[in-house]
Structure 1
Amino acid sequence: MATSLTQEINALIQQLNHGQFERVIARARPLISQHPREFILHHLLALALDQQQAYPQAAEAYQNALNLNPKAPELWFNYAIVKTHLNDLVAAEQAYGKAIALNPQFFEAHGNLGTILQKQGRLDEAVASYQRGLRIQPQDARGHFNLGTALRDKGELQAAVQSYERAIALFPNYTDAYNNLGETWRDQGEMTHAVDCYQQALQRNPQHPAANYNMGEFLYLAKGFEEAIPYFEASQLEDWQARVLYCLYRAEKFDAFKQHRDALISQGPHTAPFIATLSTHYSINHGEADPYQFCPDGLSFVYHRSLPELAAGSPLLAELLQDIAQAEIAERKQARLTNGKQSAGNLFKRPESSFRALGEIVKREFRLYQEQFKQADCALITHFPTALEFTSSWYVKMQKGGHLDAHIHEIGWISGAVYLAMPDTEDAREGAFEYGTHGDQYPQLHDQFPTRFIKPAVGDIVLFPSSLFHRTIPFHAEAERICIAFDLKPATSSGMSSNHY
């Protein structure tokens, strides 16, 4: 290598180390034109572009470097991270595989591969990848945290608790782990443990978004509405503004509620289902037109039809019922549910083929829903999510006397359920799905809040705006009522912490 080029490269390395990424990019490109076979120039350019979050250009630069030096596991690792940012998960998975093949002890690559697999819902493979990394480096706190996230997705809540606790033992200031541990205790109904974990996170980082959000949620569920508001405001996370509105409304601070709601209305598109619920309820309560245009007439946007794949005697129906009965799926505490059980985790991300098949059918129905209401001039349809992701999916099993109190799914867009077993009742309302505009002990100034109901048959699907209240009417037959419920995720990015290396 010529002395002048060596000096140029050393200068680029110094600039990179000092964070002068634009200078590296500006100088590396003409040098590459002069010396296209010089691997280190492509590598330095890739690193600088990566740091500038210019991911498409960084991916190209990494690929050029790899063409010249395909035996560098760190290069494959960095290339995979960039491909992950570009949501090219197939290429990222392959690149992590290359890095691991070149260096089987590369525990960070095993960990990040686990994250890629987890993003695709391949939870068993993700767990195995995390565990391989931990066998190489058992003192890796992030690896234990990642494993906990996958176990929680699988519904293996106690195993997730153990993983989070191990992460904290290795890194006592691990605020994300404290927060996630609290959420996992919450999923098991252990609120004392959950709140202690949130507080541990906030002691270490008073601005931790998720821990503030979770404390706010705990307080408003305990009816400490005004106490909850500062936590939501500190979180600035996801639907925090809707949560503040909820607290004001439940505290019957109607003037403050209207002022905050109207300020949000003026800021942009009406794309928050939770705010829509609150705005509709307030408007009905006060005899006013609803100005929030997410879906002002939600009762007219309920979709109900029979799924041919779940007709009586169908193999998929039998498989779903068998997997619900026999698969090792943890349960989640559900305060609104009487004489019933609800599964934990995300059912459509589990390995059983029946759940995955049903998930694909439901995605098809989401598109049919969108098509049915395509002429509607409201944000529910005009801003319908382009990528169909499930915020969550779970089964609910009820026995005689079972019912579910009126509620909404605050973080959904479209919610729904598929019915696998229904009690045979003489009363058309018993066991029915009721939907309307009131619930959750919202303050009522009168009782003129409309409701409707559907009595689903086995194999039916019901889809509805997540802004609608809904409940299961109690039934008294000696039979089970089984459904799989789900939420379509809004087209917004999550503010929750990443589990990448």
Structure 2
Amino acid sequence: MNNLNNDSINEIISLVKDSDLELALNKVKSLLLEFPSSDILFNLRGTIFLKKKEYKIAQSNFSEALKINPHFISAKINLGTVYQNLGKTEEALKCFKEITKINNTFPEAYNNIGFILYTQKKYSEAIKELNKAIELKEDYAEAFLNLGMIHLNLKKYQEAIKFFDQCLVHNKKLISVYYYLGECYKNINDINKALSCYDLSNHQKTSSRILECYFILNKKKKYQKLIGSISNNDPDNRRIAAISAYISYQFGISNIYPFCNKPLDFILKNNIKKNMENGNLEIQELIREITDKKFTWELFGKTTVGGSSAYNLTQLGITSLSKLQNILVNEISNYKENFKNKNCTFIQKWPKKYKFNIWSNILKSEGYNTSHIHPAGWLSGVVYLKIPSDIKKKEAGIEFSLHGDDYPKKIKNIPTITIVPKVCDLVLFPSSLFHKTISFKSKSERMIIAFDIHKL
């Protein structure tokens, strides 16, 4: 290790910072031939794969670095970060806690512990850990950001504003913080202040929030000017499609946003039981193979309440799911054909190539999914695997609406469509359309496979 040239290490670090990852990887590979027991090189190689979002390979490299040097803090914090990205929060938490035992003056570990506890809704514990991070590093902007997020979730908006302001004092480049400030001011009904904050932000919801502020302030001309500009520059944005459909209805004006201006017209239901039989796919086999996977209860940042979910199923090599995908490809083709004469980019710019993102959701009695859209998808769908037999009326159904995301209502009567599904029903709809699950009371559970197609 002593013979490993620091200049070579610094060169690789510089390449990684500049995102020249392939050259950095080649240099690490060459050096590992000469220094096969270098913890630093394995950590660097892991860092490269972490930046490439190849988390499994990154994990093996960080683990190798820690075999060589169990007290290598950088490798351990990187391994914890990988676990976070893989959704293995308990493993990540263990990594970060181990760091505090090796070195209790390392603020990043306390910040990361605090963030995980925040995602687990253990807010009091999270605040304690984040305060420890700030005690060690008084200008720790990310820790102030996390404290702000906790108080925003607790609906303590004035306290959240103070933490977000402190975050910006220490790092003015974190302009996404302005979005969260906007959320605080919107929730305390200071819409003009919220608008000024959204204007300064660079968040995926920035434009939709600005449009919402114009709606709340009844600035119809400003709304029309901005939606016209976005229609030309960003015509396929599913968040914009969702809010433009809603605000157009509320203002009583034509929806000019081109993606899918009448999304409620594009819901299609079909029962695929015969397709599954013809494709040699048994529903019980599908249920068994999926329930063998790891489900997480009320996963952070998702819409499930009173239920559990398993994500990224397409990456797990599930045989029965591959059979289902083949059926879905045909159903999706039929869906497009059904609406081929509709003049909107949702149909007319249909993806020539796409990939599936598939997950599963199991709801217990009184469980539900809150209203949401799928902004990364183009077309979304649900296949129903289990439906309780003792439900009443619309229970366990799926409700579609122009309204969502807590948009304010000026016209209270908003169109909705509710479908009460049967086992093996497939429901397809635009990813920009708000939908939610209606809660139910039953001793049985409701199980679905949900999916989006993503344009390639």
TM-score (norm. length: structure 1): 0.68
Describe the SS at the equivalent of 1:435.
Answer: strand
**2:378 counterpart of 1:378:** no
Q: Tell me which moved more, 245-254 or 171-180.
A: 171-180
Q: Give the greater-gyration-radius structure (CA).
A: 1
Distance in 2 between the 1:162 and 1:486 partners? 38
Change (3 A) 1:239 1:147: same
Partner of 1:123: 89
Partner of 1:250: 216
The amino acid across from 2:264 in the alignment is L
Matches within 5 A, 1:423-442: 424=390, 428-429=393-394, 432-438=397-403, 440=406, 442=408
Distance in 1 between the 2:159 and 2:447 partners? 30
Question: What's the C-alpha RMSD, in Å, of the aligned pairs?
Answer: 4.8
Contact 1:42 1:62 in 2 (8 A): no
**2:243 counterpart of 1:281:** no
The amino acid across from 2:305 in the alignment is Q
Shift of 1:102: 2.0
Contact 2:178 2:198 in 1 (8 A): yes
Matches within 5 A, 1:113-192: 113-153=79-119, 158-188=124-154, 191=157
Shift of 1:40: 7.2
Choose the corresponding residue for 2:34, options 44, 68, 71.
68
Distance in 1 between the 2:196 and 2:453 partners? 26
* Higher RCO structure, 1 or 2 (CA under 8 Å, sep 6+): 1
Q: Tell me which moved more, 220-229 or 196-205.
A: 196-205
Choose the corresponding residue for 1:97, options 63, 74, 90.
63
Partner of 1:388: 357
Describe the SS at the equivalent of 2:399.
Answer: strand
**2:204 counterpart of 1:264:** no
Partner of 2:430: 465
For residues 310-349 of structure 1, the C-alpha deviation after alignment (integer angstroms, 9 at most, x for no partner) is 76996689989xx88xx7x699999xxxxxx9269x8437
Across the two proteins, how many residue pairs are aligned to each other?
Answer: 431
Could you tell me which runs of 5 or more consecutive residues in structure 2 were left unpaired when the two chains were aligned: 274-280
Could you tell me which runs of 5 or more consecutive residues in structure 1 were left unpaired when the two chains were aligned: 1-36, 335-340, 493-501
The amino acid across from 1:382 in the alignment is P
Choose the corresponding residue for 2:419, options 446, 454, 458.
454
Q: Tell me which moved more, 159-168 or 77-86.
A: 159-168
For residues 344-376 of structure 1, the C-alpha deviation after alignment (integer angstroms, 9 at most, x for no partner) is 9x84379xx9xx999x96997696575554566
The amino acid across from 1:115 in the alignment is T
The amino acid across from 2:260 in the alignment is C
Distance in 1 between the 2:336 and 2:264 partners? 16
For residues 361-402 of structure 1, the C-alpha deviation after alignment (integer angstroms, 9 at most, x for no partner) is 699769657555456673485398747388xx9876664xx9
Change (3 A) 1:233 1:92: same
The amino acid across from 2:49 in the alignment is K
Partner of 2:204: 238
Matches within 5 A, 1:4-83: 43=9, 46-83=12-49
Identity of aligned residues (%): 21
Partner of 1:6: none
For residues 450-479 of structure 1, the C-alpha deviation after alignment (integer angstroms, 9 at most, x for no partner) is 43210134676755434323355687x787
Shift of 1:258: 0.6
Describe the SS at the equivalent of 1:266.
Answer: helix
Describe the SS at the equivalent of 1:228.
Answer: helix
TM-score (norm. length: structure 2): 0.74
Change (3 A) 1:210 1:398: farther
Choose the corresponding residue for 1:292, options 241, 257, 272.
257
Describe the SS at the equivalent of 1:209.
Answer: coil
